[in-house]
Structure 1
Amino acid sequence: MFAAYVTVTIVAAVFTGSAAVTYLARHPYPKAQLDIKRLPRSWGPKLGMLLAAGSLGLLSGFAVPLLGALAAAGLVLYFIGAIGAHLRVGSRQLLGPAVFLAVSLAALVLNLGYHDPW
């Protein structure tokens, strides 16, 4: 269980961290995604900061399990919102946010399962 928890958490942190970098570096891809979803480009750095905070929170969860669980839960909500934004404009490009959602959800489940808060 521990190996799965560590592996999935690190994968989720790398995924979300790399997405955060693309937003914060003002890469053309996130700009295009914001345009497709009819969201203001000014949201790009804010969304990047949320992703960065989630990534760092996942890694901090190794020292403070509650923080990792809260970060994973926040990322799950973030990616549910991302899927909603795609659906709102009729986009069928759901694979990317679905993968991010699945990895974030797996990190949350494994964190809660390994640390057993009940």
Structure 2
Amino acid sequence: MNFLTARPTYALLAAFLAGDAVASAIPVPYVAANMDAMRVPPRIRPAVPVVKGVTALGLASVFRFPGVARVTTALLTLYFAGAVGIHLRVRNRVANIVPAVLLLGVFGTMTARGPHPAPGGVRAPGSAA
């Protein structure tokens, strides 16, 4: 088992994204300044914490619905690919680009490998054999 395929990693990243959703909803001054720097239109900003919150739920679903968690990591891979592109387009500071690049790599790897099966190789209830 790899750290990125472990179910607790999905839970940890879900908690991180839930916190990020709250920081985006408030918005925390650093987050607001970063959205300004990336030229995120005001009409789109309310959707950002919603998207992050939904993805947190998708990652947390790994214990019951590992397939949903894997689809969520695929969508997060696309999200962070777009984020990296936006950061590069606006020539954002390297310190702001690095986290997006790292998360792109993390979620891309998680998508490729998928979540580790439950202990003992038992599948989640209701999943196909």
TM-score normalised by length of structure 2? 0.76
Tell me what 1:50 maps to: 51
CA distance in 1, matches of 2:50, 2:73: 15
CA distance in 2, matches of 1:85, 1:107: 23
Could you tell which deviates more after superposition, 24-33 or 96-105?
A: 96-105
2:107 equivalent to 1:104: yes
For structure 2, the 5+ residue unaligned runs are 118-127
For structure 1, the 5+ residue unaligned runs are none
Task: Encode CA deviations 1:36-83: one digit per residue, 9 max, x unaligned.
Answer: 011213322201111111111011122112111111111111111111
Root mean square deviation of aligned Cα? 2.2
The structural deviation recorded for 1:110 is: 4.0
Q: Whose helix proportion is higher, 1 or 2?
A: 1
Tell me what 2:72 maps to: 71
The structural deviation recorded for 1:2 is: 7.6
TM-score normalised by length of structure 1? 0.82
Aligned length in residues: 115
The 5 Å alignment of 1:78-117 reads 78-91=79-92, 92=94, 93-111=96-114, 114=116
**Larger-gyration structure (1/2):** 2
Give the SS at the match of 2:41: coil
Q: Which aligned runs of 4 or more in structure 1 are off by greater than 3 angstroms?
A: none
Percent of aligned positions with the same letter in both sequences? Answer: 28
